[in-house]
Amino acid sequence: MTSDKLKISKYLKVFLNYGISLIVAGIFLYIAFYQVNINDVINLVSGASIFWIVILIFTVLLGHVVRAVRWKVILHTVKPDAQLKHVFGALMVGYGVNSVTPKFGEITRAVLLGKWENLSRSSMFGTVIVERVIDIISLGLAVIVSVFFWRENLYDNFPWLESTLFIAAIFMVGIILLIYLTIKFKEKFYGVITKLFSKISEKWAIKLGYIFQMLIEGFTSLKGTRNYILTILLTIVLLLVYALSSYIGFFTLYMNEIMPVTFKMGWVLMSIAAIGVVIPTPGATGTYHALAKTTIVLLFGFSETIGAAYAFLTHILSYFLSIFTALIVYFVLNKQRNNLIKIVETDLDEI
């Protein structure tokens, strides 16, 4: 009986790790390509501009480099001399893992960087959490900017966006408050939270305590006015590069010959499509396609076919670029050949 329970528990864990995200990806892919002629999409993609595809690939890689530099700045207090090649390498391996399962990617890059730079995993997890918190806040601000760029019909075509922004604003205030309390009171705040949760579940209190330990180490790693300013500036640059990538995507399919395209359109598309990236599916599959296509069709007035082709082409380029770069980086930098999968699974169980 115990063996059967363990098997059921194992299968349930596999389903939670992979099954749900695959189902969600499938649903959004169906929404994105519903009533779209796939052959027409393939024809458009096969005739894409090689020149602009190369430019797009370099722009996407530039975004990864900027993100790696920002992570290095966040790590400055923990280890000022952390090598950028290790930071970039861990980031890209994490992206590669996220392309298969969204749950392991952030853990993988924290484990790898900790191993390559001889740093504790908890401090690495903390900096990854800090980076993700910054991403959520910057995404919310990017969407708000998009409202000013495209205010005439943004809410009309995305009626859920206004309530989402309102909820996101509350969420961001909560995150900022959490950051303040974590940095200001550290162990006292941690003790109060874990004590409250221990009344509900001792197991969850222990896990929550571990998470708060990582939060404390992560938030306190970002110290000094210089580091704060650099992090903010790099975040702005990162958003601009992402918007530039979306803008360049128009040229890959000669969409500029159909109607004028602008950088503002790239910014709006980046902001809306990034909401799909937040939803945990493998490599943002499906969610990105649905939101990118919907934005191109409803806001910019392009056809369903070219909207689907844009989403397919830009996603597949980014997807395989992440996997390809991750494999190269891993085998070049990870000379010790430790069993990374076991390390990651152990850390996942601890969280």
Establish if 238 belongs to a structural domain: yes
pLDDT digits (tens, 9 = 90+) for 197-207: 666 666 666 66
**Average pLDDT for 66-78:** 89
Establish if 24 belongs to a structural domain: no
**Token digits of residue 291:** 């939101």
Residue 174: give the domain boundaries: 50-350
Total number of domains constituting the chain: 1
pLDDT of residue 17: 59
Establish if 10 belongs to a structural domain: no
Residue 149 clears pLDDT 90, i.e. is over it: no
Establish if 231 belongs to a structural domain: yes
Residue 349 clears pLDDT 60, i.e. is over it: no
Q: What are the Cα distances from residue 109, in Å, to 101, 117, 183, 283, 332?
A: 13, 12, 24, 15, 15
Establish if 19 belongs to a structural domain: no
Q: What percent of the chain has pLDDT over 70?
A: 69
CA distance 190 to 209: 7
pLDDT of residue 1: 44
Q: Which residue has the higher pLDDT, 308 or 190?
A: 308
**Token digits of residue 6:** 């363990």
Residue 187 exposed, middle or buried by CB count within 10 Å (0-12, 13-18, 19+): exposed
Q: Give the chain's mean pLDDT.
A: 79
Interior angle at CA 241, CA 178 and CA 305, nearest 5? 105
Establish if 20 belongs to a structural domain: no
Establish if 235 belongs to a structural domain: yes
Residue 163 clears pLDDT 90, i.e. is over it: no
**Token digits of residue 28:** 């959004």
Residue identified by tokens 């943004």 is: 154
**Token digits of residue 326:** 């991750």
In b/e form, how buried is each residue of 126-153, taking b as 16+ CB within 10 angstroms? Answer: bbbbbbebbbebbbbbbbebbeeebeee
Residue 165 exposed, middle or buried by CB count within 10 Å (0-12, 13-18, 19+): middle
CA distance 215 to 183: 9
Contact indicator for 82, 75 with CB cutoff of 8 Å: yes
Establish if 202 belongs to a structural domain: yes
